[in-house]
Structure 1
Amino acid sequence: MPRVWYNILPDLPEALAPPLDPETEEPIKPEKLLRIFAGELVKQEMSKERYVEIPGEIRELYAKIGRPTPLFRATNLEKKLGTPARIYFKYEGATTTGSHKINTALAQAYYAKKQGIERLVTETGAGQWGTALSLAGALLGLKVRVYMARASFQQKPYRRVLMNVYGAEVYPSPSNRTEVGKRFLKEDPNHPGGLGIAISEAIEDVLRNESARYSLGSVLNHVLMHQTVIGLEAKEQMKEFEEPDVIIGCVGGGSNFAGLAYPFVKDVLDGKAEYEFIAVEPKAAPSMTSGIYTYDYGDSGKLTPKMKMHTLGHTYYVPPIHAGGLRYHGLAPTLSVLLNHGIVKPVAYHQTEVFEAALTFARSEGIVPAPESAHAIKAAIDLALQAKEKGEERVILFNLSGHGLLDLKGYDDFLEGKLQDYEPEEIPALNGMI
């Protein structure tokens, strides 16, 4: 298990543009962030230290929830595809909560508890992040409140139940608990919600309670840094096998992809390796393949600092696909920089072809993947079939970031032929509406 997290900020090919205060349009002052986030997280967000030590208490918690997680070679999938490619996957579904989100949830809850914070408030899309923070709160003695995107709240009721089991309060978003939520419900009483709206509700909630702080599951630097335990472990595990040629992860905000890829990206930035990186997103929320690089709010209610990132616009209406964790309008600023420099290649898929890939994987390897992770599986299968056509040996590594055992409604809909694909909605960012 790693003793440090890897912070990519000092190694980026260009410095990040500073986050802007939404009231002044000037670089935001740290004291404003301290009202929203735990102090140590604000410090980590801006740190220029390449490696940040993981406190012993967090490492002990990591061990309790299943770290280090296993790395497998998908030999049955290789045989099914008839490919000369060799496919490996890091399996984050082996953690107690069934996804990679617990890696940063434990860290954020630890620092909040140490500061004397009583409650953490957050958003969740499909529910993996909300579940992870709920357990982290239970283990560390913190109250947790979760605003869950309404589409997922309805599609995945057992995610909500699991959060309740861990002691968290869970509300469908948009809700009647906040002014932001009321505004969106007035516009559309059946609004499916999305991460952008849920973030706004969580922050509004925090600003009403001095003893509460906000906790974010993706996008920001400190979150992605905590997730690098995945890639640091995978680098050591792959030494037992061989060097990967291609590294793949799915992308909503970026924590899944960054967690696996960033430790490998460092070797590319240092000129020590020539890995290919593929970031996979849904065509219904194509921030990487159709968004623009500009300053935008991280939430739909315009309460967060403005960040320079690839975005579809904070007013983008994200269709209710089953991969709820990928239903976001923006992208991690650090990943945006890597895209701009051509270090990471983005691809996008419709949800029906993603579920087809998920079935192929489940029927060969036995693991039912989360719909989010199935995007990475689809890309891995496509690359393996390309290798078959060309007669090339390729070594593929992807992040299977969570199991899909609480996503069976999506699988049922797919098997019944009820799933539909969504073309991107009108993209406000491209019409000057940011």
Structure 2
Amino acid sequence: MKQQKRFLLQENEIPTQWYNIAADMPNKPLPPLNPATKEPLSVEDLAHIFSEECSKQELDTEHAWIDIPEEVLDKYKYYRSTPLVRAYALEKALDTPAHIYFKNESVNPLGSHKINSALPQCYYCKKEGVTNVTTETGAGQWGTALSYAAKVFGLEAAVYQVKISMQQKPYRSLIMRTFGTAVVGSPSMSTRAGKDIITADPMHSGSLGTAISEAIELATTTPNCKYTLGSVLNHVALHQSIIGLEAEKQMEMAGEYPDTVIACFGGGSNFGGIAFPFMRHNILDGRTTKFIAAEPNSCPKLTRGEFRYDFGDEAGYTPLLPMYTLGHDFRPANIHAGGLRYHGAGVIVSQLLKDGMMSAVDIPQLESFEAGILFSRTEGIIPAPESSHAIAATIREAKKCKETGEKKVILFNLSGHGLIDMTAYDQYLNGDLRNYDIPDSEIQKNLENLPKVM
């Protein structure tokens, strides 16, 4: 019998609503707080920074299903659905009885899942009369997606890219500029936050926390400008749920259901996107699917951080968020998975981890590249360094199945390709990459400086 490898939905089968897991969670996520008053934020408070509609979605814990605007759905149809793929060759290489599937978000415009949220965020800004948007980016997947979406909806965009990632991945900056976006390496001298950071440490290589500070400062000091975010927050995971909702239908086409769902983890957007639609069946229907977030061991907020209220940026411009954190002034190592170098986890994911509804593993940099090379040589796709963390976690689970003889179904999210990350692969193949060890003392030092809320 011929084995089917790829499963695709027809255009009329693409989901027309996003899924909001906050409405179904047994324990609702704690609210974001005003740093000055320690009081919960309102939609009006958030709308000073974000679009009003995204602010409403951020705080919505009542509506499980949110309609996708027709204008956004039309843009989704340019590239969705993305394929669900059975990784037969990877299974064979691992000699595992497990069935391994991956959702291939690397075929999206600009090569990652990030466009799924960039389009609605820019659409809402345009609808509300905003003319300018700004954001931060690490490795550049979010920055390129936001740049494209801004151009689609006629907005001007400015992106602060983490300085070390800008040096490691110059072509991502070039892609943003191709779409007409102003790109600045962060920390920079163009904002007060950036000047303060550089004054304190002239050699600061940047972090997502520093870039967020600069982008928020620009948004709040520029007329008719809003800040957009590519991960961490609830409304971003909401938009990304299109991934898992499609995967549900595609797994049904394949005649299987996942025992384990895996995704890499930076702030939570692609993890929530693939996991939350399946997790609702654990919550509502008694399913027992296991969910694993794969983070770098050099930025281990889920595995070694603390659940606390903390700022989402280094300068303290953001609301206080209840999350697993390493401390907002944590400086991650200069690993090539720039999209995973963030000090905190999303609010919803943090609550789910706290409640034992998911787990996390930390992956050393060299193990992630070893996994990425194996995936490249078996499935023919060079994965982004971020996605390679999910592949490494998948390989760990598949090897367990080989040891036990269990024929489990494993689904992971291939959040992006690595075709603009070849310098990282070059360094790995030449033996020039290394692992990074984060001492417990460094983590504890950062945690001691967190705001006193809980």
Residue matched to 2:182? 169
Residue matched to 1:41? 54
Matched, 1:190 2:203: yes
Matched, 1:392 2:390: no
2:148 partner letter: L
State which of 221, 224, 239 in structure 1 corresponds to 2:234: 221
State which of 113, 121, 126 in structure 1 corresponds to 2:139: 126
After superposition, where does 1:384-423 map in structure 2 within 5 Å?
A: 384-423=398-437
Could you tell me how far apart the structure 1 residues matched to 2:445 and 2:280 are? 31
Q: Secondary structure of the residue that 1:288 maps to in structure 2?
A: helix
Q: Is the 8 A contact 1:292 1:429 kept in 2?
A: no
After superposition, where does 1:335-350 map in structure 2 within 5 Å?
A: 335-350=349-364
TM-score of the superposed pair, with normalisation by structure 2: 0.94
Could you tell me how far apart the structure 2 residues matched to 1:143 and 1:37 are? 15
Could you tell me how far apart the structure 1 residues matched to 2:356 and 2:274 are? 18
Could you tell me how far apart the structure 1 residues matched to 2:447 and 2:353 are? 22
Q: Is the 8 A contact 2:43 2:52 kept in 1?
A: no
Residue matched to 1:317? 331
Residue matched to 1:433? 449
Q: Secondary structure of the residue that 2:302 maps to in structure 1?
A: coil
Q: Secondary structure of the residue that 1:145 maps to in structure 2?
A: strand
Could you tell me how far apart the structure 1 residues matched to 2:386 and 2:179 are? 23
State which of 251, 261, 278 in structure 2 corresponds to 1:238: 251
Could you tell me how far apart the structure 2 residues matched to 1:394 and 1:31 are? 47
Q: Secondary structure of the residue that 1:270 maps to in structure 2?
A: helix
Residue matched to 2:3? none
Could you tell me how far apart the structure 1 residues matched to 2:194 and 2:429 are? 34
Could you tell me how far apart the structure 1 residues matched to 2:410 and 2:29 are? 30
Could you tell me how far apart the structure 2 residues matched to 1:383 and 1:262 are? 20
State which of 287, 302, 312 in structure 1 corresponds to 2:316: 302
Larger displacement relative to structure 2 (207-216 or 9-18) = 9-18
Matched, 1:369 2:380: no
CA RMSD across the alignment: 1.0
Query: 1:40-82: CA deviations, max 9, x gaps?
Result: 1111111221100001110110112x11101100001111111
Could you tell me how far apart the structure 1 residues matched to 2:405 and 2:314 are? 47
Residue matched to 1:269? 283
Q: Is the 8 A contact 1:74 1:88 kept in 2?
A: yes
1:181 partner letter: G
Larger displacement relative to structure 2 (14-23 or 229-238) = 14-23
Larger displacement relative to structure 2 (361-370 or 19-28) = 19-28
Pair 15,293 (structure 1): closer, same or farther in 2 beyond 3 Å: same
Using the aligned pairs only, state the percent identity: 50
Q: How far did residue 428 of structure 1 move?
A: 4.4
Pair 71,173 (structure 1): closer, same or farther in 2 beyond 3 Å: same
Could you tell me how far apart the structure 1 residues matched to 2:239 and 2:444 are? 32
1:336 partner letter: S
2:242 partner letter: V
Could you tell me how far apart the structure 2 residues matched to 1:414 and 1:181 are? 32
Could you tell me how far apart the structure 2 residues matched to 1:308 and 1:385 are? 35
Q: How far did residue 271 of structure 1 move?
A: 3.1
Question: Where does structure 1 lack aligned partners over 5 or more consecutive residues?
Answer: none
Larger displacement relative to structure 2 (148-157 or 415-424) = 415-424
State which of 72, 92, 98 in structure 2 corresponds to 1:79: 92
Could you tell me how far apart the structure 1 residues matched to 2:330 and 2:203 are? 16
Query: 1:169-202: CA deviations, max 9, x gaps?
Result: 1110001101111111122222111111100000
After superposition, where does 1:275-294 map in structure 2 within 5 Å?
A: 275-294=289-308
2:263 partner letter: G
Could you tell me how far apart the structure 2 residues matched to 1:388 and 1:230 are? 28
Could you tell me how far apart the structure 2 residues matched to 1:139 and 1:88 are? 32
Could you tell me how far apart the structure 2 residues matched to 1:382 and 1:19 are? 35
Could you tell me how far apart the structure 2 residues matched to 1:312 and 1:57 are? 39
Query: 1:270-326: CA deviations, max 9, x gaps?
Result: 133110111110011000000000100000010000011100000111111100000
Q: Is the 8 A contact 1:122 1:130 kept in 2?
A: yes
Larger displacement relative to structure 2 (24-33 or 418-427) = 24-33
Q: How far did residue 429 of structure 1 move?
A: 6.3
Q: How many residues align?
A: 433
Q: Is the 8 A contact 2:161 2:186 kept in 1?
A: yes
Matched, 1:251 2:265: yes
TM-score of the superposed pair, with normalisation by structure 1: 0.98
Q: Is the 8 A contact 1:261 1:277 kept in 2?
A: yes
Q: How far did residue 207 of structure 1 move?
A: 1.0
